Structure 1
Amino acid sequence: MILRRLTTALRKQDWFTVVIETLIVVFGVFIALQVNNWNAGRLERVDTQNVLERLERDFELQLSLTNRSIGQQVLLLEATSRLITSIHTGEFDEQTLFEDVAFVDTISTLPGPSAAFQELVATGRLHLIRNEDLRDKLYEYDSSIMFGREIFGGSFTAPVDELARVLFRAKKLVASGIPSETFSQVGAVESVDRAVILEDPEVLAALQNAYLIQDNYHLILVRCRNQIEAILELLRQERERAS
């Protein structure tokens, strides 16, 4: 309709009409572009909020798991220390002996990567996070966790595996023939050969090596917790700015 009027005006050399019709077209295109930009901006803001909420949920879960692992590492260090002290003094803490022997050859779980962050990277949508410091910390956490998990499955845990091997000689496990109902029942100790612990030099060496690993691992977990807490604080600030 507008094009037909504009063509007619050009034939008649009605320049006033040409200008008015042209302005109408330009203004209409401008309004359409503004509406499209507004819609795109609104959708991006919604997408950003969803991304930030997913990241926050991810890291709140990892913080909970990390705190639990740190608590477990403290208990592991205490148990290992009690057994080392018992070998040096020749006296066992009978109240905790069975639990200590069943427990010391384990290690806590390292927190996992953020699935939401890895999805952002994979889909090329990391630009939704405008805070450069937050992006850097997300990359740093992801890299350190992937590296930690790589060494966690290799030589890093070898001393703990060695402790499990040598300490097994002193254990008599509960073998009732009834399947365990909880994970705490798996590997439960029925009795301990104290002479093996006291007299086998491999046991003391394995305990001390495992203690070093457990202590280092505790520091790694604390560092992970600090990283997660810093990320969560930045995520909360970013959500406030994006809302």
Structure 2
Amino acid sequence: MLLRRVMEHVKAQNWTAVAIDFVIVVFGVFIGIQLGNWNQSRADASLERDFLAKIVVDLQSDAQNLQSGIDMADINVRAAYYTLDQAGLAPASTITLPVDVAVIPGGQLDVAAPADMSDEDKRHLWALAVVRLYPGQSSTAFDTLMATGRLDLIRDHDLVTKLQAYRAQWEDIEAAQTTTFRAFRNQAVFIGQKQGFSPFAAIPEEEFVALVRDTPELAGTLRTMMEYSVLHGQVLQRTRQTTLDLLRSLGAEEAPYSPPGQPNH
């Protein structure tokens, strides 16, 4: 109808009416575009809220998994330290790296002497020293956002940078767990098998301590496991702090902590 009216005005050379019709058309197109942009902005804002809520859930899960890993590393250190101490083999009180690294300020870590072990723990010193827990990242939400190519949904560019750095930090942890920490654990299990016991074996404390005292290979294995457990725990602790910082930047809190389940040995 509008096009027919414009043609009639052109034929009648009513240029004022033509100009008014043109303005009406342009204004209508402009309003249509603005409404489309507004609707798209609302949809994008809704998607952003959904993704950020899911990222918060993932971060809360990470915080719990990391704390479980830290707790398990502490158990590993305590069991190995106690055994070496009882065997009179003077466990290390500090671990010093030859170079400074970001996760270990000053390149040195203290190894605290543990409190006395329970009677039940003393029957499982080998298990508590070698069984490990290797946390993995809960990254479903961020990975989905990356896969869809819609990182632009998150309008806070600083937050995007932090999330990307956090993902890279986890990749480093998972690589270290695969290539270093698991490798030493596997070697320790093999050495224990040569002595006739499994990772979950219950061994009388006196028998186990005497065996460690008289078997340099076993004693060296416990030292190595203790020292790398200290390093592993520190790496997990620093990553957990990053996780909590991200949660705070998103206005969220850490989820209530659940005790560790069965360790991933």
TM norm structure 2: 0.77
- In the other structure, the counterpart of 2:202 is 189
- In the other structure, the counterpart of 2:10 is 10
Instruction: Label 1:203 to 1:7 Cα distance change in 2 as closer, same or farther (>3 A).
Output: same
What amino acid maps onto 1:189 in structure 2? Answer: A
- Aligned counterparts of 1:93 and 1:72: Cα–Cα separation in 2: 15
- Aligned counterparts of 1:162 and 1:24: Cα–Cα separation in 2: 80
The worse-fitting range, judged by mean Cα deviation, of 188-197 and 100-109 is 188-197
Cα deviation, 1:172-216, whole Å, max 9, x if unaligned, reads 56xxxxxxxxxxxx8342656433222111111111111110000
Matches within 5 A, 1:207-226: 207-226=222-241
- Aligned counterparts of 1:172 and 1:164: Cα–Cα separation in 2: 9
Cα RMSD (Å): 2.4
Tell me if 1:135 matches 2:160: yes
| Structure whose alpha-carbon radius of gyration is higher | 1
Tell me if 1:104 matches 2:129: yes
Identity of paired residues, percent? 25
In structure 2, the gaps of 5 or more residues are 91-115, 253-265
- In the other structure, the counterpart of 2:261 is none
Instruction: Label 1:112 to 1:125 Cα distance change in 2 as closer, same or farther (>3 A).
Output: same
Instruction: Label 1:67 to 1:21 Cα distance change in 2 as closer, same or farther (>3 A).
Output: same
- Aligned counterparts of 1:172 and 1:156: Cα–Cα separation in 2: 21
The worse-fitting range, judged by mean Cα deviation, of 104-113 and 46-55 is 104-113
Greater helix percent: which structure?
Answer: 1
TM norm structure 1: 0.83
Cα deviation, 1:89-144, whole Å, max 9, x if unaligned, reads 79x96823222222211222223151211222222111112223222221112112
Instruction: Label 1:94 to 1:25 Cα distance change in 2 as closer, same or farther (>3 A).
Output: closer
Q: 1:79·1:100 contact (CA, 8 Å) conserved in 2?
A: yes
Tell me if 1:34 matches 2:34: yes
In structure 1, the gaps of 5 or more residues are 174-185, 238-243
Q: 1:102·1:188 contact (CA, 8 Å) conserved in 2?
A: yes
Tell me if 1:47 matches 2:62: no
Instruction: Label 1:30 to 1:132 Cα distance change in 2 as closer, same or farther (>3 A).
Output: closer
- SS in structure 2 opposite 1:58? helix
Cα deviation, 1:137-179, whole Å, max 9, x if unaligned, reads 2111211211221231123333332322233455656xxxxxx
| Aligned residues between the structures | 224
- In the other structure, the counterpart of 1:182 is none
Q: 1:10·1:18 contact (CA, 8 Å) conserved in 2?
A: yes
What amino acid maps onto 1:98 in structure 2? Answer: R
